[in-house]
Amino acid sequence: MLLDEIGEKILEDRGAAKAAILGQKQVSELIYKHPINRLRTAVANYLNEKGEAWVLVDNLDKGWPGTGVTKGDISLITCLFEALDKIARSLRQKGFERFFSTVFLRADVYENLVDVSSDRGKILPVSVDWTDPEALKEVVRKRFVYSDFDDELSLEQIWAEIAVPAVDGEPTLDILIEQSLYRPRALLDLLATCRSTAVNRRHKKISLEDIEDAITKSSIRMIENVNLELRDISPKFDRLFYEFIGREPTLNRSKLRSILKGFAKEKDLDETEQQVIDLLLWFGFFGVENEAGEATYIFDVDYNMNMIRAISERRNVAARYVIHPAFRPSLSIVDPAKGPQIRWI
């Protein structure tokens, strides 16, 4: 009712045909002409009957334009943090202490946009990135149990009943987890693709060929989904991943610089080379090859950009960047030493 009255007042003062651009002072005047204190007291009294209150804000990205997150979107997010903090303080003044609020944001949006704002010190971030394979396995096990498998069975026992358990001594489930970039939704989609592929071929169990084909199919969705996430951060980087079609899986700094230079010229980018590389590292598209020849990806260091950047900088001009195997099938990336095969063969 309060919001309706404020809206009617704006239309009354300015007319429906005119744009109503109000400053902070004008907005405050409109709001405080109404019985705000009475409303606050009524809410506090109601909440005292409940014991505690939680406000959970999710799906903010559903309202973002396809052209990317703007400064205005980030301002709205920071204002939301401030508003929730103000509500908590107001309720405490009314004697209600147990008010909690949480805003769910994609990690890339927070790290690349919100965290660089001047208000970052007011925000208490809690990371829910999945970097523990055992935690992901428990998610999968619970899904199987819900589908009528015995709760006493381990995931390894369940998986052995429905799929080839290992190849060359490496568990196939571990391979699928790695291919999903440790994303629960991507892992479940990949498992569903394995199952549907096996069913369509009338296989009693998921075979190695079913897994290989499922990885190839899922790779296309993976590159599309990650590209959309990158575009949310900055539309200028839309389709950046596709610049690597047909490239080798491992690129030295000079080769990578050449690829990025061509993309920057085409898109008229003013970002530095390192900023673009940082984004590719953040989304797990690239890993950095260490002195032992092993690739370290962002999820291997708990999404700590300083750590992955330090590994890259320590190698300096000798740095070599490895494209994650999950992206290779969709980008027709072939390892010259192994040919067009999934990495474990």
Domain ranges in the chain?
A: 35-122, 133-226, 234-327
- H/E segment holding residue 322: strand 320-323
**Tokens 């490239």 found at:** 247
Instruction: Report H helices in 234-323.
Output: 253-267, 273-282, 305-315
- Which two structure tokens, joined as six digits, stand for 313? 């900088």
pLDDT of the residue at 344: 43
- Nearest in space to 116 (alpha carbons), one of 181, 71, 176, 53: 71
Q: Which amino acid is at 187?
A: L
Residues 6+ apart with CB under 8 A from 17: none
**Tokens 């209150």 found at:** 53
Instruction: Give the integer Cα–Cα distance in Å for 240 and 5.
Output: 48
Instruction: Give the integer Cα–Cα distance in Å for 139 and 146.
Output: 11
In this structure, are strands 295-296 and 286-289 parallel, antiparallel, or unpaired?
Answer: antiparallel
Phi then psi for residue 124, to 5 deg, are -100, 100
pTM: 0.73
pLDDT of the residue at 201: 95
CA end-to-end distance (rounded Å), the chain: 66
Span 133-226: which CATH code?
1.10.8
pLDDT tens string, the chain, 345 residues long: the values are 778 877 787 777 766 556 667 778 877 887 777 788 888 888 888 998 888 999 999 988 777 766 667 778 888 888 888 899 999 998 888 888 899 999 998 887 787 667 666 666 667 788 777 888 999 999 999 999 998 899 999 999 999 999 999 998 899 999 999 999 999 999 999 999 999 999 999 999 999 999 999 999 999 999 999 998 888 877 788 888 999 999 999 999 888 888 888 787 766 655 667 778 888 998 999 999 977 788 999 989 888 888 888 888 776 667 899 999 999 999 999 776 665 445 443
- Which two structure tokens, joined as six digits, stand for 136? 């992901």
pLDDT of the residue at 285: 94
Residue 115, helix vs strand vs coil: helix
**Tokens 């070599």 found at:** 320
pLDDT of the residue at 245: 93
pLDDT of the residue at 343: 46
